[in-house]
């Protein structure tokens, strides 16, 4: 039995991260200032995207993506049910309708064949989530989006540093969203970013993150350059926006974390490889299939219980692991199970594969600061429970 509980995910903050934040606290800017510009350049350099817009959460990035894509009332946006609710909520924020397409039973990612079935004349976009960091079938999704004039939004909240056929997430979808919540690969405390190649969309996202306010006189519609010189305090609200600004404090933390991202991902891959070796072939455990196009940064390590081989429920397995101080998590309750969605008329049974997968999965601990002996404890605990519950 472990002395201390092992969480499923955790940030790794060092003294250099703390020093970076302290540096901002001693400077003139604590909110959106020079660190944001620096961070956006770091994200572009890392991913190969032409533009990056830093925001104060991944949720804000998704909202900005939907707005930048020009999606509005009555439009339909197709997404997966096996995700954090933000992937669907972003459509609701703009009055659009989330439409759930079922997942592939092996990769747990949205199935392009199911997307195609859900396309109607009102469909405007696909929000495809790189579940656990495994990259979606971007070629098939791109082909569907091109054929039906849809915007391809990649929710890569789990997948900064993942690659699709050698290309970094952030560099191939129309709009890509990252999250920098503490359990993610790198953290800003809270934070997100929107990446794209389209300068106009990036500009709209920048306005959107700060109330739609335009300070640049050359872009104002109600003021000439001459008038702007007379009234330098003037700014124009050009659209309805929000306060989705990331403070420089958070940006400094993230810039510091980005210097370590390759090391973090390499360590995640090492632990995941250890798990792969232990669990592949273990009766009672099924593993998420790794698609040939996906080089995942391994955000989550998901095991699926083979209910033919084991006599326990997922809930019993979860609690038994917890009794051994191994804290797993379930990613995710299908979004449309929630009261908010049930009230909107989404019924259970909508995506049977996602529902089946949800009933039998657990995310076991995976974070770069884990020691090898922590991973050994997880393997031993899973093995013990499989022996206990094997039919």
Please report, as ranges, the residues that interact with ligand PLP according to CB under 6 A.
57-59, 83-84, 86-87, 129, 155, 157-158, 179, 181, 192
d(Cα 127, Cα 109) in Å, to the nearest integer?
Answer: 11
Nearest-approach distance from CB 209 to ligand PLP, in angstroms: 13
Whichever of 77 and 382 has its CB closer to ligand PLP, that residue is 77
* Paired residues of 237 in beta bridges: 213
We find the least distance from the C-beta atom of residue 187 to ligand PLP, in angstroms, to be 10
Residue 248 CB burial class (10 angstroms; 0-12, 13-18, ≥19): buried
Distance CA 155, CA 179 (A): 9
Instruction: Give min distance, CB of 71 to ligand PLP, in A.
Output: 17
> Is 269 tagged catalytic?
no
Nearer to ligand PLP (CB atom), residue 66 or residue 129: 129
Tell me how far apart the alpha carbons of residues 146 and 90 are, in angstroms, rounded to a whole number: 22
d(CA 29, CA 20): 13
SS (H, E, C) 353-383: HHHHHHHHEEEECCCCCCCHHHHHHHHHHHH
Structure letter (DSSP) for residue 350: S
From the CB of 68, what's the least distance to ligand PLP, in Å? 16
Task: Give dist(CA 241, CA 223) in Å, integer.
Answer: 20
As given in the structure block, the two tokens for residue 186 are 């790198």
Query: Which CB atom, from 317 or from 332, has the smaller least distance to ligand PLP?
Result: 332
CB of 87 to ligand PLP, least distance (A): 5
Which CB sits closer to ligand PLP, 68 or 86? 86
Q: SS3 for 280?
A: coil
> Least separation, in Å, of the C-beta of 37 and ligand PLP?
21
Taking alpha carbons only, the member of 66, 91, 58, 65 closest to residue 340 is 91
Query: Chain-centre distance of CA 390, in angstroms?
Result: 35
> How far is 264 from 278, CA to CA, in rounded Å?
21
Is the CB of 59 or the CB of 171 nearer to ligand PLP? 59
Q: Are 177 and 87 spatial neighbours (Cβ–Cβ below 8 Å)?
A: no
Query: Given 118, 163, 184, 229, which residue is catalytic?
Result: 184
Nearest CB to ligand PLP, comparing residues 168 and 194: 194
Q: Which of 260, 191, 238 is nearest to 32 (CA)?
A: 191
Residues recognised as catalytic: 184
């Amino acid at each position: 039995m472990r002395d201390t509980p092992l969480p499923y995910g955790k940030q790794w903050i060092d003294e250099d991260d703390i020093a970076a934040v302290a540096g901002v606290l001693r400077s003139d800017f604590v909110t959106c200032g020079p660190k944001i510009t620096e961070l956006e350049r770091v994200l572009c350099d890392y991913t190969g995207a032409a533009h990056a817009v830093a925001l104060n959460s991944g949720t804000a990035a998704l909202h900005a993506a939907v707005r930048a894509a020009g999606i509005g009332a009555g439009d339909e946006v197709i997404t997966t049910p096996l995700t954090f609710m933000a992937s669907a909520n972003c459509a609701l924020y703009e009055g659009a309708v989330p439409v759930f397409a079922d997942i592939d039973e092996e990769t747990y990612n949205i199935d392009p064949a199911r997307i195609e079935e859900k396309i109607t004349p009102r469909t405007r976009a696909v929000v495809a989530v790189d579940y656990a960091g495994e990259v979606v079938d971007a070629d098939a999704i791109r082909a569907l989006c091109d054929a039906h004039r849809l915007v391809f939004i990649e929710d890569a909240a789990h997948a900064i540093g993942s690659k699709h056929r050698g290309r970094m997430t952030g560099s191939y979808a129309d709009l890509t969203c990252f999250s920098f919540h503490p359990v993610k690969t790198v953290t800003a405390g809270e934070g997100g970013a929107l990446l794209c190649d389209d300068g106009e969309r990036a500009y709209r996202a920048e306005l959107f993150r700060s109330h739609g306010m335009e300070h640049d006189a050359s872009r104002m519609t109600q003021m000439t350059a001459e008038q702007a010189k007379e009234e330098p305090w003037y700014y124009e609200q050009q659209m309805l926006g929000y306060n989705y600004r990331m403070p420089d404090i958070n940006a400094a933390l993230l810039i510091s974390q980005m210097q370590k991202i390759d090391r973090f991902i390499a360590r995640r891959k090492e632990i995941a490889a250890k798990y792969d070796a232990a669990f592949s072939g273990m009766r009672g455990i099924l593993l998420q299939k790794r698609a040939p196009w996906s080089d995942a940064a391994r955000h989550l390590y998901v095991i699926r219980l083979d209910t033919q081989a084991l006599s326990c429920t997922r809930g019993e397995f979860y609690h038994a692991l917890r009794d051994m101080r191994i804290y797993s998590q379930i990613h995710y309750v299908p979004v449309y199970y929630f009261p908010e969605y049930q009230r909107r008329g989404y019924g259970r049974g909508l995506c049977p594969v996602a529902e089946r997968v949800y009933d039998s999965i657990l995310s076991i601990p995976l974070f770069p600061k884990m020691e090898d002996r922590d991973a050994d404890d997880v393997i031993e605990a899973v093995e013990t429970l499989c022996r206990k519950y094997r039919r």
